Structure 1
C-alpha cells in the first residue's frame, strides 16, 4: 500500500490558523492593576496588543509595553494562555499570552507616558474595577494572572 502525501505548501495551507496577542500584568506597590484606555475602543484593556508576523509573544509584550506606556520593563514569566474560539466577524480563534511585567515602584508609575496616538488614559485599579472596565472576553485573564503569579505557574483559560 502506498501513501500519497500532500506537497508541503498544500499541507501547511490546510492547517488551521489563529490570531495572537500578548499582554502584561503590571501592578503597583498597592497591588492595583494597570489598565489602558484605547482611543479606538469604548472599553479599557490590558497593556499589550497583537503579535506581529514572526514575533515571539514575549517580544510583542515588551514592544507593546514600551509603545503604550513608555517604560522598558522586563517581561517575566508567562501567567495566562487564553484561547478564544472564532466569533463573527473574526474568522479565526484568538490565542492570548499574558506575561508578568512586575510591580512598578512609585517612581516608575510617575514615569508612565502613554502613547497618545492610541491611548486616552491609563489607571491602576482594583481587581473588581478591572472586571467592570474590561470586555468580558478579556476580564477573566486578570484574576487568573494574579492567581498564576501567586502560584508560580501559568494558567490555561480555554473558552468554548
Structure 2
C-alpha cells in the first residue's frame, strides 16, 4: 500500500466514522518499531507503521487509523487527547477504536544460565542473585557483615 492510498483511507475513515475532514498528511514510517502509529502534535500529521498492514491486514490498519484520528480530532478541538483523558477514552468507545494495537515485534527473552546464592557470615541472611557480585566490594544490608558465596547453580 502506498502513502497516497493510506492518505485516502485516512480521509475516508475520518469522514465516515468521525464526520469530519482530515486536513493534514498521513504516511507510513518504516522506523516505527513497537507502536502501530503516532499522531504528531506540532504538525498534526499521522504516521503509521507499515508492519500493521503487512502482518494483520486491513482491519487492524483501520483500527490504528481510528485510534490516531481520535488523538487528531480531540487535539484540534482543544479537548483531552491523551490516553489518560476521559474525552479520549469516551471517543474510543463511541467510534469502536482499539486502545492498543497488536504486537508487532516478538521480544527476545534472556535465558538465565546461572544463579548465585550468597550468605552473610555474621547474621546468616541469604541473598539470591542472577549476576555474580564482588564479595570484597559488597556487604550485608542488615548487619554489614562479610558475604560468602554459598552456591552457584547452572540452569538450562
Please tell me the TM-score bracket, short chain as reference.
under 0.3
The structure with the largest strand share of the pair is: 1
Given the two structures, how large is their TM-score scaled by the length of structure 2? 0.26
Give the TM-score normalised by structure 1: 0.26
More helix by share: 2
